[in-house]
Amino acid sequence: MFNKKTGLFAIIFLLGFASFGAMNAFFSYTNTTEFCTSCHSMKINLAEYQETVHYKNAAGVRAECADCHVPKEFFPKLKAKIIAAKDVYHEFIGDFAVSDEIKNDPELYLAHYNKHRWDMANAVWDKMRASDSRECKTCHSFSAMDFEEQGKSAARKHPRAMEDGKTCIDCHKGIAHHEPDDPSL
C-alpha cells in the first residue's frame, strides 16, 4: 500500500509545501517598510516618504514601500526580489558604493546620493512605465475616479491622460520621494 514511490512523492510534496511557506514568510518579512528602510542607504528615501500623502493623510491609509515598489503577482515579485537581493547583499557586506567616510558624514552622503539620484529615479520610472504603473493601479484607477470631486487641474488632466493612454508615472513623478533635478538642464 505505501511503496517507495508514494513515500518519495509525499516527501517531495511536503518539502515543496514547506519551501513555498518559507518563501511566502520571507516575502512578507522583506515587504515591510521596516525591513526596506533598515539599510543605511534608504534613510534619505524614508525621510522623504514620511513627508508625503502616501505616508500620512486624512483618510489614514498608508502606502508602504512594497505597495509601490514590489509587484503583487508571483513571478514579477520573484524577479523584483532577486534583483533587490544584490542591493541587500552589498549593503550587508558594507560596500554599497560609498566609503565609511561618506557613509558617516550626512552632508557627504547626501551629495553622493544626489549625484546618482537622477539615474536611480529614472530606472524606477522606466520600470513603472513598462508595467503601466501596475503598483499604482492596485489602489488608483481612472474608472474609480470621480472627476467632479477632484481639483480643477486634476479633473481636467485625468480624463485627457486616460484618453492619451498615459500611465500614472507620466505625470506623478516625485509623489512619494523628492523629484530629482535633471542634470542636463
Whether 168 has a binding-site annotation, put simply, is yes
What's the rounded Cα separation, in Å, for the pair 13 and 21? Answer: 12
Whether 67 has a binding-site annotation, put simply, is no
Whether 1 has a binding-site annotation, put simply, is no
Measured between its terminal Cα atoms, the distance across the chain in Å is 76
Whether 105 has a binding-site annotation, put simply, is no
Whether 36 has a binding-site annotation, put simply, is yes
What's the rounded Cα separation, in Å, for the pair 185 and 30? Answer: 37
**Look-up of cell digits 552589498:** 90
Whether 178 has a binding-site annotation, put simply, is no
Whether 171 has a binding-site annotation, put simply, is yes
**Look-up of cell digits 513603472:** 128
**Look-up of cell digits 549625484:** 115
What's the rounded Cα separation, in Å, for the pair 131 and 68? Answer: 12
Whether 69 has a binding-site annotation, put simply, is yes
165's torsion region: left (phi>0), alpha (psi -120 to 50) or beta? left
Question: Residues at the annotated binding site for heme?
Answer: 36, 39, 42, 65, 68-69, 87, 136, 139-140, 168, 171-172, 177
Question: Residues at the annotated binding site for a menaquinol?
Answer: 87
Question: Residues at the annotated binding site?
Answer: 36, 39, 42, 65, 68-69, 87, 136, 139-140, 168, 171-172, 177
